[in-house]
A and B are shown apart, each in its own frame.
Chain A
Amino acid sequence: MQLKATGILHAALPALVLLITASCSNNPYRPGETAESTYFSTFATPPTKLDPTSAYYSHEGAIIDQIYEPPFTYHYLKRPYELIPLTATAIPPPVYLDADGAVLPETDATTERVKRVQYTINLRPDIRYQEHPCFALTPTGDSLYADAAASDIAPYDSPSRFPTQSSRPLMARDYALQIRRLADPRLASPIFSTIARYIEGMTELQEAYTTMLAEARDARRDAGGLTYNQEQDEKANPLVIDYMAPDFPGCVVLDDLTYRITLTTKYPQILYWMCMHFFGPVPQEAIDFYAIPAVAAAQFSLNRCPVGTGPYFLDTFRPNELIVLSQNPNYHPDFYPTDGAPGDEAAGLLADAGQRLPFIKQQVYRMEKEAIPSWNKFLQGYVDASGIASDVFDQAIEMAAGSDPTLSPAMDAKGMRLLTDIRTMLWWTAFNFKDDVVGGLAPERCKLRQAITIALDYNEYLDVFANGRGLAAQGPIPPGIYGYRAGETGTNPYTDTWDSRRAKHVRLPIEKAKQLMVEAGYPEGRTADGQPLTLHLDHAAGLDPQFRARLQWMQRGLDRIGIRLKERGTDLSRFRSKRNSGEWQISSSGWLADYPDPENFFFLFYGPNGKVDHGGPNTCNYASQEFDDLFQKLETMVNGPERMALIDQAMRVIQRDAPAVWQFYPVSFSLVHQWYGNVKPHQMTYNVMRYRRVAPATRVELQAAWNQPRWKVVAVALLVLVGICLPGSIRVYRRERSGA
């Protein structure tokens, strides 16, 4: 028994050692995998909602933007961002109707007179869906899988592996269906409340759906008996409502390829919304297919298995591990743009002009929660592109004095390229206007907030936390959005000044802040009873490792004007309820542009959007009549000098009232390897992978060159270990045999 076990050990151990040694390599892929025309990347957060109705986060958008094609999109190369049709034949002009339904000419279309706005969208006829089992129908029009048993489905980990699949042309009703789905209360679309204000009949539609759902559920519950568990029943047997049943004037299908959207008011931004996946097409077949109990039981749903017309389809979706997008063979004719922004041609971005898209066959995204492994894999060549985490910045970037950032020599030698782009994003530190200390429009309160702004020098912040990657903000509108003013004219006169030598905005001297504190009634930061003014930073940053450092930085900044800052941390839900009830003082927020329009930033401070009073997105609860009036005027206005003037005015008001400390506009830096081409950062849509290409041969060669294992070190370590153990063993052997 003893001997046998040892025998097996003797045989198995060397085999195991050999096997392990042979597989020692830091290559995370299978042999040959990187030789294909495949793009390798990582993702940090698992996408949870891929339904175009409810997906909102960028890591979800990065996937479904490539699958669902809304009627319009943005030009890949041109800046400022320019709308182009995607599945539509053209960008439709708005048709303004008055109260009587008569068409108003453009010149008469004032906000007051316009009662309806219509956009008629005409689709391209050559667009087909990806191959998908939901289109596999019997001659009677039922799904082929309608009666499938769970065991029939079990072998397949994705609908794209089903044996029988089919396709069909894209039709206008698919778009109409999706617009109606935005009103489904179950899907809780994040944009519903916004667009319901504009699209006619949207609110009524949601009410109709709510009633339908309640009726259907009551019926099921009564039939389900005592132990009826609604959640489990609906998971096993999804509740389908007939989306098309209620009347909905907001979106009408005119023919197979034409549909019309009707708005109740002028809202040119609707076209931007219609560049998003929320307005993509969803086929009724897919909804029916995912309602088949066996399919639902296998965890397939629109949330996990999208059906679209885009250049890629979702091949593998294991959200905690691996996401693979493969080229859609049914993808409609689509070509690389022939013109771009100035400089694009020189950058080689037009080399593929006019070529059929897409280039890359497959995109492989692997889960990588930690930034460091992800970065290391990029350095090793196993990931094609990487954003640069701030901490590795020094390693990658050399900032030559006064010039643009360039790559470090080591990176340069590896042939990497650096791409920078200011993001259409804003970070700010909000003051709660419902708070008795920091809120309110009284001049001394404004001065307190201005003083705080001066004390928090975001140029320094960027140095400390982002290695200078970013632009200290002067107001709520980031660069790249209409209304942003660069240089001296953009200076926030209350807190900043233009340093022409360094070519950037710098905070006013701290003495000014101290002066403002005196004017605000807090000389040296002391309250009336002599104690230092203590403010509270509310946050839900429990999971952010850098929060502590940020807090300390803020505390130190405010300490300069005698203010004490304390943190009040809670979990997210309590933080939200604090926000909803207005029981907070200071907190930090960020906003990423939905679309390139100043309205998308100003509305965050629009009084009627107040969080506490109206449940809107204006978390500051800032309500200034002056600002609100200006906002109403510029909200739906077409870009032009008139709008610019209004924006400048509004900007001045909000800078004076300082409902927030404008922190900074982040700059995204990304590094790409030399084998990854046609890369130009795009802020508005993720449907750009179709333009990019990889050179696998170069990649394989360089990966091999960069990643030779260092066996020598291991060998030396083993030798040392043996050297330590050997004398002892010899001594024991001798002692056993020779006696004491």
Chain B
Amino acid sequence: MFSYLVRRIAYAFPILLGVNILLFLLFFFAYTPEDMAETILGEKRVTQEQIDNWMREHNYHLPRFINLAESFPATLTRTIFWQKSMHLFALEFGHSDVDNTDIGAEIKRRIPYSLCVTLPVFMASLMINIMVAMVVAFYRATYIDHMALVICVLMMSISLLFYIIGGQYLFAIHLRLAPVSGFDAQFPHTIKFLILPIVISLIGSIGGGVRYYRTIFLEEINRDYVRTARAKGLGEGTVLFKHALRNALLPILTNVIVTIPFLIMGSLLLENFFGIPGLGNYTIDAISKQDFAVIRAMVFLGSLLYIGGLILVEISYTIADPRIRIQ
């Protein structure tokens, strides 16, 4: 197990390096540090001196890949690539280009906020989607199934934006059941801020979720072992919830665990609309302020979590499926 993890992590490294180089090319060649400096420095009276100063302050005055002014190995280390990109591997995210705050500390501080929303949504939507999908699978090929499918497709076809806008109007303004927006990190007070975003993203996810899980269940329901289970005299409920569900876990896990990293990354739209100061909000802020250091850090973090998620998927496979063993 341990050696497996080591191996997987070693395998992840070249991929992260690829991500890093890609990002670097995107952010430092297509868009130069001078561009960045001009974007970030104040509205009024920006002089070349100030730009140079800003670049010095933020280490952008270094050469990009190779610093010929230095002797080896400083030729490689005193470069933007090393100091800005390679440091990400040590999880040193550096400092924001705009307000100079420590990105790593900020990320750490905001993760719980994001999780506050995404985790309940994740759990609840998983549960609800699977339950509904099972019920729909139970009624397969009847008019209930057809209706449910059409409703699912309809719900999928609606942008999350509409759910958010409509939900806010209905629940917060008309029914007065939840605050329009805001957040309070202290526990019992948190709930009322979370209800609305959670409900809305549940509604937003149900169409696609149910449809996807239904397909998985239908695939499982047609397997031989299900027929065996029925031949044993098991009821449809046990067949579905024990035999089919347990086997459907594999494709479900693949689908679900890959999204776990994104729980941490937060939901851009929800956090922005509801004023939840999580990582999604952070990303949106960084976009609107063109804070490249933060965007870079978030992209890297996203990739890191994605790769972590893949490893998690493989580990969870071995738990869910006795046929698979990690060597």
Contact = CB atoms under 8 A, between A and B. Distances in A.
Nearest to B37: A573
B176 A26 contact: yes
A321 B44 contact: no
Interface in B274-310: 275, 277, 281-282, 285, 288-290
Given A30-B184, A188-B42, A577-B38, A227 B77 contact: yes
A232 B272 CA distance: 30
Interface in A220-248: 226-232, 234-235
B178 to A, nearest CB: 6
A227 B48 CA distance: 28
Nearest to B87: A229
B159 interface: no
B74 interface: yes
A450 B58 CA distance: 46
Given A20-B191, A190-B44, A710-B175, A573 B39 contact: yes
Contacts of A269: none
A2 B242 contact: yes
Interface in A284-306: 299, 301, 303-304
A189 to B, nearest CB: 9
Contacts of A615: 45, 47-48
Given A25-B192, A48-B99, A366-B182, A708 B105 contact: no
A423 interface: no
B256 interface: no
A641 interface: no
Given A226-B77, A231-B59, A366-B275, A188 B83 contact: no
Nearest to A193: B45
Given A232-B92, A367-B277, A728-B144, A617 B39 contact: no
Interface stretch (B166-174, B215-223, B313-321): B166-174
Contacts of B102: 235, 299
Contacts of B272: 369-370
Contacts of B181: 28, 368, 370, 373, 377
Contacts of A2: 241-242
Interface in A315-345: 318-321
A211 interface: no
B39 A320 contact: no
Contacts of A20: 191, 195
Nearest to A54: B42
Mostly helix, strand, loop or mixed at chain A's interface? Answer: loop
Contacts of A713: 174-175
B77 A49 contact: no
B73 A226 contact: yes
B224 interface: no
Interface stretch (B1-9, B16-24, B49-57, B200-208): B49-57
B228 interface: no
A709 interface: yes
B92 A190 contact: no
A321 B176 contact: no
A598 B179 CA distance: 45
A28 B193 contact: yes
Contacts of B101: 299, 304
Nearest to A615: B47
B128 interface: no
Nearest to A368: B275
B91 to A, nearest CB: 13
A138 interface: no
B323 interface: no
Contact of A709 (B94, B177, B182, B277): B177
B84 to A, nearest CB: 9
A235 B59 CA distance: 12
A192 to B, nearest CB: 8
B275 A303 contact: no
Nearest to B188: A23
A24 B44 contact: no
Given A232-B94, A235-B95, A728-B144, A19 B191 contact: yes
Interface string A353-380: 0000000000000111110010011001
A324 to B, nearest CB: 13
Nearest to A46: B285
Contacts of B41: 188
A28 B190 CA distance: 10
Nearest to A375: B180
A457 B58 CA distance: 46
A574 interface: yes
Contact of B290 (A25, A235, A572): A572
A56 B183 CA distance: 28
30 contacts: A2-B241, A20-B195, A26-B178, A26-B179, A28-B181, A188-B41, A188-B53, A190-B42, A190-B44, A193-B47, A229-B87, A231-B58, A231-B83, A231-B95, A234-B57, A235-B95, A299-B102, A321-B277, A369-B275, A370-B272, A373-B180, A376-B172, A376-B180, A380-B180, A543-B288, A573-B38, A573-B290, A576-B39, A709-B176, A713-B174
Interface of B: 35-36, 38-39, 41-50, 53-54, 56-59, 73-74, 77-78, 82-83, 87, 92, 94-95, 98-102, 105, 144, 168, 172-184, 186, 188-189, 191-193, 195, 241-242, 272-273, 275, 277, 281-282, 285, 288-290
Given A23-B195, A24-B177, A710-B176, 11 more contacts: A24-B178, A25-B177, A26-B172, A303-B100, A370-B272, A377-B179, A571-B290, A576-B38, A709-B176, A710-B174, A710-B177
Interface of A: 2, 19-20, 23-28, 30, 46, 48-49, 54, 56, 185-186, 188, 190, 193-194, 226-232, 234-235, 299, 301, 303-304, 318-321, 366-370, 373, 376-377, 380, 382, 543, 571-574, 576-577, 615-617, 707-710, 713-714, 728
Closest 4 interchain pairs by CB? A48-B99, A573-B39, A28-B179, A321-B277
